[in-house]
Amino acid sequence: MKKLLFFLLITLSANSFSQNPIHIIPEPSSMQKQAGEFILTKDTKINIPTANTEVRNVAQFFAESISLPTGIKLSIAENIKFHASKTINFILDEKMLAAPDQYTLTVTPKFIDIKAHSPQGMFYAVQTLLQLFPKQIENNSLQKVVWKAPAVKITDAPRYGWRGIMLDVSRHFFPKEYIKKFIDQLARLKFNTFHWHLTDDQGWRIEIKSYPKLTSVGAWRVQRTGKWWEREPPKPEEERSYGGFYTQEDIREIVQYAQERFITILPEVDVPGHSLAILAAYPEFSCGGGKFEVNAGTKFYKDVENTLCPSNEQVYVFLDKVFGEIAPLFPNPYIHIGGDEAYRGFWDKSAECQALMKREGLKNQEELQSYFIKRVEKIVQSKGKRIIGWDEILEGGLAPDATVMSWRGMKGGIAAAKQNHQVVMTPSDYVYLDLYQGDPNVEPVTYGMARLKKTYSFDPTPKGVEERLILGGQGNLWTESVPTTRHLEYMVYPRAFAVAEALWSPKEKKNWQFFTKKLETHFSRMDEAKLNYALSMYDAIVRTEKDATGKLKIELTTEIEGLDIYYTFDGTNADNYSSKYQGTMLDIPKSATTLKVITYQNNKPKGKQISLSMKDLQDRVGRYKMFTEISE
């Protein structure tokens, strides 16, 4: 009988052990769950090497991160007995490979070991350790829970060295304190690059003391709401009060804040196009001259110039001073110079530009833009930096030392790599975080489609390209349709989780179904942190096509497994008492006017109610990618 009880206890323990998977994002390289758990108490101590300021800073970061929810003020000691009871040990291990991001994390019931070759690796171990504690660790107020972490052995290192997220603060300005909060979340997911899109047609966001009108004029526009590109142009009497900018002191503060979290900030000054905010402040840098207004979401017409004039020598004097002030503010070795979507029509009309092209032997406008980019590269190099630009900088000839950020698919990145240039992959159809992530009928208005599953399938290294030339990748959030921080979070999460796993985790460790299970855990953690996020992955996907007779047929699918789909054609809301979709394409009943669809999980509503008119359904025929694409 005792043997039987012992066997049952072992079996129950093993089942409990196997039924509680550890949900770390991004997925570590190697993870073995062990028996037991470490319980954090007021008696726990942090142990660090003697006289190592950088390690102490990481240990202090961990202590401060947990102090509010736990109420525990961990003390930090130097070289106390390793593996003593209730110790969290930060160990510099010179025997490990010299990869700065690599770490091992060992959690036992008695102690926790964090080993790395560098403080940077220790910092990433801390991010993993925080995910092992209960979800309330994300809260900013005292929580009464048992602070336990499962025993586990993790060995981890990133797949790529460039792991980034871009935030556009030109279309809508987000204040300094929110930028810090945003950086905190990037650090949680082990991103190491924050690409800061600081200038565009809708606002100039960084103080340049040599040109004060960039912020006194270029940082402000008229207040407008409504659909982007359909807004009314500004009127002369209207106040230009919407916007803002970061002082150089703000920039230094944010850069330091990011550095403490092992994140480097990539500043972007977008030229020669997307420069209307510059021209509003300094119209003399245009080809056509005249009066310019900072754009507030009004559609551009060919009579609106928003491009710097490449034949104007004062433009290069201007850029020399601008980059001269920006370069010392950012330790990042790169400055992003944009180079995308430059309208060149005014260059055609400029006698000076035509004379320049003749003098330099330039055959077309693409080569004229390349001439401009190459001159900008020399300016940036004179400040001790390298240029990186959007893939349009390939057109007309790539600058000698330029790195390409490929956004129009991966073709630009492949072309740059074939020319032996380094590349950051950021293809819009995979990792543009401002695109629809669910059915446009129930999502805030935007354009294009990048469902979570499509983002998760992102692989930065295409076949046939030398891996050494692919630095990594990033997700981009353009903010034309993102006016608030709450909506910013809705668009970024959970797709940023997918980008993080694509850039950090080994390719063979990625698993879509397990990833979606992990997200459910992280949604509850985000609730504790009061962060917004989208649940669009639970929504039904509605696709239409016409059969050989021209009859409209409807297919219903979902991104994730385990969901039931219910639908109606009679105008009533769908629920789990409605018709259940059985996997075969639906015919539309005669005289039906509306299809309504909803998903359930375990007899509870999970997705949003989607309501589509017959016209909506007709409009979807032949537009599979826009409305339904989820993977390659």
Mean pLDDT of the chain: 94
Supply the pLDDT for residue 98: 67
The sign of the torsion formed by the CA atoms of 36, 40, 43, 46 equals positive
The predicted model gives 295-321 an average pLDDT of: 93
**pLDDT (tens digit, 9 = 90+) per residue, 521-567?**
999 999 999 999 999 999 999 999 999 898 999 999 999 999 999 99
Supply the pLDDT for residue 19: 54
Q: What is the DSSP letter of 299?
A: P
- The answer to whether residue 441 scores a pLDDT higher than 80 is yes
**pLDDT (tens digit, 9 = 90+) per residue, 238-292?**
999 999 999 999 999 999 999 999 999 999 999 999 999 999 999 999 998 889 9
Residues in the chain: 632
78 given a catalytic annotation: no
- Vertex 300, ends 337 and 200: CA angle to 5°? 25
Which residue among 64, 341, 466, 467 is the active-site one?
A: 341
More confident of the two residues 582 and 10: 582
pLDDT band at 84 (very low <50, low <70, confident <90, very high): confident
Cα 424 from Cα 190, distance rounded (Å):
17
Residue 374 identity (one-letter amino acid): K
Which domains does the chain possess? 23-156 (3.30.379.10), 162-529 (3.20.20.80), 539-628 (2.60.40)
Write out the two tokens for 31: 């993870």
Supply the pLDDT for residue 11: 42
CA dihedral 362→368→373→375, nearest 10 degrees, is 60
Contact 224, 241 (CB under 8 A): no
pLDDT band at 83 (very low <50, low <70, confident <90, very high): confident
> Which residues 6+ apart lie within 8 Å of 470 measured at CB?
160, 413, 417, 422, 423, 424, 425, 460, 461
pLDDT band at 569 (very low <50, low <70, confident <90, very high): very high
The predicted model gives 396-419 an average pLDDT of: 97
Cα 108 from Cα 522, distance rounded (Å):
23
The sign of the torsion formed by the CA atoms of 415, 417, 423, 426 equals positive
Contact 245, 213 (CB under 8 A): no
Kind of pairing between the strands at 604-605 and 594-601: antiparallel
Supply the pLDDT for residue 4: 47
% of the chain exceeding 70 in pLDDT: 95
Alpha helices in 481-630 (DSSP H): 485-492, 495-504, 512-529, 614-619, 624-628
Lowest mean per-residue pLDDT among 73-82, 122-131, 345-354: 73-82
- Vertex 557, ends 553 and 559: CA angle to 5°? 150
The predicted model gives 571-582 an average pLDDT of: 97
Supply the pLDDT for residue 623: 76
**pLDDT (tens digit, 9 = 90+) per residue, 372-385?**
999 999 999 999 99
pTM assigned to the model: 0.95
Q: How far is the first Cα of the chain from the last one, in angstroms, to the nearest whole number?
A: 57
Contact 468, 421 (CB under 8 A): no
Bin 630: left if φ > 0, else alpha if -120 < ψ < 50, else beta: alpha
Cα 595 from Cα 543, distance rounded (Å):
12
